Amino acid sequence: MGNEKKKKADGKKGGATEVSPIRALWRMLRRPSGHYALGTLLVAGAIGGVLFWGGFNWAMEMTNTETFCLSCHEMERNVYREYKETIHYNNRTGVRATCPDCHVPKEWFHKIMRKIQASNELYHHFLGTIDTREKFEAKRLQLAGNVWRVMKKTDSRECRNCHSFDYMELLMQEKRARDRHVDAIEQGKTCIDCHKGIAHQLPEGAYELERTITEAFHKKKEDEGSFGGDMAP
């Protein structure tokens, strides 16, 4: 650091040839190119851009696989083993929904936002917040609540990548399911309102939390409605 300062000082004093490499790069970037043709620069830029973007997406897709999720033992030991018993893993048709199918949005913007949030999960992985089954069980209600709240807010966006009310053949459903789905469509319900604990075990106190989340959600919606609706000038 002190050396750099000295160099800068030297440069000012005598206008000598010695310049710090960072400064040199900055100067080069600022000056218009008098050496390369514009075409060369464009092509090089395009290729560089494709490589950079491809690499970025490739790296992000690497973090979007089941193998990546299971590289943390917290995931493998708890949620993955529970999920293996359920319909989204173990079924007659051989179609599977893996971790990112339900837990990472497909649209680019939402996906990036989720990936940024995931840095918090990495932080807690290294802190060891849930590194034993007991710690995980103690946190399960809070963690499940986080997912439920998000799914309620996004109208179960990730479920709807595959499931849609529009394409459900209600007549092929068991009567109990059919009646319930008709009601849900009429009342504007979302998947997570009923389908909690379908891929992982439920936490203790799940139904109390469910009520709290639903009530809070509707209260917030009502409040927003009164501001933006009839009361607006």
Partner 1 sequence: MEKKCLLTIVALGLVCAIGLVPSVVAHAQDNVEFMRDRGIDENNTAPGIVKQKTDKGRFIRNYRQQPPLIPHRIDQYEIDKKVNQCMRCHDWPYNVTENAPKISETHYTNREGQALDHIARTRWFCTQCHVPQADAPELVPNTFKPLERKQ
Rule CB under 8 A: say whether 87 interacts with partner 1.
yes
Rule CB under 8 A: say whether 104 interacts with partner 1.
no
Question: Which residues 6+ apart lie within 8 Å of 183 measured at CB?
Answer: 189
Q: How far is the CB of 133 from partner 1 (least distance, A)?
A: 13
- Contact residue for partner 1 among 19, 77, 86, 168 (CB under 8 A): 86
Rule CB under 8 A: say whether 223 interacts with partner 1.
no
The residues in 3-32 that bind partner 1, with binding defined as CB under 8 A, are none
Using CA atoms, how far apart are residues 210 and 145, in angstroms rounded to an integer? 8
Cα 57 from chain centre: 14
Question: Which residues 6+ apart lie within 8 Å of 159 measured at CB?
Answer: 102, 151, 191, 192, 195
Of 104 and 202, nearer to partner 1 (C-beta) is 202
Answer for the pair 86, 196: CB distance below 8 angstroms, yes or no. Answer: no
Site string for partner 1, 28-67 (x = CB under 8 A): ----------------------------------------
Angle at 109 between CA 106 and CA 112, to 5 degrees: 85
Rule CB under 8 A: say whether 100 interacts with partner 1.
no
Rule CB under 8 A: say whether 230 interacts with partner 1.
no
Rule CB under 8 A: say whether 175 interacts with partner 1.
yes
Task: Please choose, from the candidates 198, 168, 196, the residue with its C-alpha nearest in 3D space to the C-alpha of residue 181.
Answer: 168
- Contact residue for partner 1 among 179, 215, 222, 224 (CB under 8 A): 179
Using CA atoms, how far apart are residues 56 and 10, in angstroms rounded to an integer? 41
Angle at 51 between CA 47 and CA 52, to 5 degrees: 115
Rule CB under 8 A: say whether 167 interacts with partner 1.
no
Using CA atoms, how far apart are residues 73 and 77, in angstroms rounded to an integer? 6
Rule CB under 8 A: say whether 174 interacts with partner 1.
yes
Using CA atoms, how far apart are residues 49 and 132, in angstroms rounded to an integer? 44
Q: How far is the CB of 199 from partner 1 (least distance, A)?
A: 10
Site string for partner 1, 196-215 (x = CB under 8 A): -xx--xxxx-xx--------
Interface positions with partner 1 (CB under 8 A): 86-87, 174-176, 179-180, 197-198, 201-204, 206-207
